[in-house]
Amino acid sequence: GSVLLVTTLIAATIGLASVATLYGGLTAGSKGRETLLPLLMLPVLAPVLIGATRATESAFRTNGIEVGEGWPWLGLLAVFAVLFSVVGAVAFGPLVDE
C-alpha cells in the first residue's frame, strides 16, 4: 500500500507539473492568459486527477478496493507523466522563442 501511494504521489506530481509547464509556455504570450490557462489545462488534467484518485483509493483500501486494483491507474499516470514530459521538453524551446 505505501509503495503504491508514494509512487502515485510522485507520478501525479510530475504529470501535473509537466502539463502546467507546457501549457504555461503555450499561453505565455497571449492576452487573457490568466483565464485561458485553466480552461486549456482542465480537460488535459482530468486523466491525471482521476488516475491519482483511484490509485490513492486503492492504496488506502477504501470502499473495499484492493491494492492490486491501483497499479493499472499508476501505469496510466506514469505514461501520462512521461508523455507530457517528453512533449514539453521537445516543444519548450519553440514555444519560448515565439
Instruction: At 85, list the grid cell.
Output: 514530459
Report yes or no: 95 and 25 within 8 Å, Cβ to Cβ: yes
pTM: 0.83
pLDDT of residue 98: 60
Q: How far apart are CA 68 and CA 27, in angstroms?
A: 39
- Residue 83, pLDDT > 80, answer yes
Q: How many CB atoms lie within 10 A of CB 20?
A: 16
Tens digit of pLDDT for each residue in 44-53?
A: 999 999 999 9
- Residue 24, pLDDT > 70, answer yes
> pLDDT confidence of 96, banded at 50, 70, 90?
low
Residues 6+ apart with CB under 8 A from 68: 58
pLDDT of residue 46: 92
Any idea what DSSP says for residue 70? T
